[in-house]
Amino acid sequence: MEQQLGRILVVDDEVVNVTVLRGILRQAGYEVLSAANGPASRALATAERPDMILLDVMMPGESGFEVCKKLKEDPSTAHVPIIFVTSLSDVSQKLTGLELGAVDYITKPFFAPEVVARVRSHMDFQRRQGDIIQEQASRLGQIQAAQRALLVRPEQLPGARFAVHFVPVLEAGGDFYEVVDFGQGRAAYFLADVSGHDLGASFITSSLKALFHQHAAPDRHPVETLKAMNRILCAITPEELYLTAVHLYVDRARGTYALSVAGHPPVLACRAAEPVSFIDLPGSPLGLFEAVDFASVEGRLNPGDRFYLYTDGLADGVNGGLATSPAFRAQLAETCTRNATAPLPESVRRIVTELVGESALGDDVVLLGVEA
């Protein structure tokens, strides 16, 4: 019975108050833990993970307000609802507690039905909130699975000679890539970074896939493809949503490539017998302005040449966290050079691992490697 209703931590330096509250709460079916001061209560909260904390305001050493502030700053206890226990009638004191993150007050002397009603109300709310979060997590998992299903895998298009490493920061991310193999050594590659990391960013990815397949073609320059996509995105996306993108077209039979960029980080080129170099082109993001032009570059290809397309999340693990920073460019160039002789899939994996490592990501990460 006790375990089913929940576990409550009572924090009060007065033994009689702890005894009274323990009796009231146990009678109502709750398990009760207790602590007599701030440090002990914080240690107990971290170790036992109570479902709720009843916290006295006036205590020697750390006041209840100080304890509350520290509990809310600790990620392991920040979610636990706190109800202050006080004899204070000063409204400003109550407001202070609520501003610190408490959910309610219980006044002394205790009136048992009121204590149980307030505890039960907030406990039920917390439980319902947990159910909602679990339901949303389940739905996000379904969205993530659907989003992943949209992404083409290298083994599906072996003739396109690409490898990819994709690390979404949330269950549903805003980064997207697509590859179209036209056959006879011709392939088109598209990488985009949608503004934001929320569901709104992830929902546009299905549209991007359809748009790229509709407009990319062997006889169409990347600039024209981006222009066509931009006109449609301006019409279908809200004003606050836009995306940076890069479009690479490779013709291995002719030994040529064409590249165009829409406000995206530069492409890293790793060519045989040449130092690595960045192809940095100006360009406006997609979805902002209908009348816009995109810079482009064309060049020759040699067997073994590689291009690395990436989103700016790759820079998060590097000092500064900016894809345009000299520090990031230098480290990316060095990492690519060091892994230039590894098979492309292994090279892509190593580059992401060495740059991002185990750091907490603040943005989605995609690295798309293409080999001539």
Output the CA angle 242-348-255, nearest 5 degrees: 85
Asked if residue 73 belongs to a domain, the reply is yes
- Claim to verify: residue 90 and residue 215 sit in the same structural domain: no
Q: What is the H or E stretch that residue 310 is in?
A: strand 306-310
- Claim to verify: residue 125 and residue 212 sit in the same structural domain: no
- Claim to verify: residue 233 and residue 92 sit in the same structural domain: no
Boundary residue ending a domain (98, 117, 139): 139
H helices within the chain, ranges in order? 2-5, 15-27, 38-48, 64-73, 91-99, 112-150, 199-203, 205-215, 222-236, 326-338, 344-356
- Claim to verify: residue 267 and residue 155 sit in the same structural domain: yes
Q: What is the CATH number of the domain that holds 350?
A: 3.60.40.10
The one-digit pLDDT tens for each residue of the chain (372 residues) are 344 689 999 999 999 999 999 999 999 999 999 999 999 999 999 999 999 999 999 899 999 999 999 999 998 898 899 999 987 666 777 788 888 889 998 888 899 999 999 999 988 887 777 666 566 545 544 445 555 667 889 999 999 999 999 876 554 457 889 999 999 999 999 999 887 555 455 557 667 888 899 999 999 999 999 999 999 988 887 777 788 999 999 999 999 999 999 999 999 999 877 889 999 998 899 988 888 889 999 999 999 999 999 988 887 666 556 777 888 889 999 999 999 889 999 999 999 888 887 554 445 788 999 999
Closest by CA position to 25, among listed 6, 42, 41:
6
- Claim to verify: residue 115 and residue 254 sit in the same structural domain: no
- State how many domains the chain has: 2
- Claim to verify: residue 232 and residue 131 sit in the same structural domain: no
- Claim to verify: residue 271 and residue 174 sit in the same structural domain: yes
Boundary residue ending a domain (139, 171, 197): 139
- Claim to verify: residue 87 and residue 187 sit in the same structural domain: no
Boundary residue ending a domain (116, 139, 162): 139
- Claim to verify: residue 202 and residue 341 sit in the same structural domain: yes
DSSP-assigned states of every residue in 211-254: HHHHH--TTS-HHHHHHHHHHHHHHHS-TT--EEEEEEEEETTT
Asked if residue 250 belongs to a domain, the reply is yes
Asked if residue 253 belongs to a domain, the reply is yes
Count of residues for the chain? 372
Please give the residue range of the domain that contains residue 328. 151-371
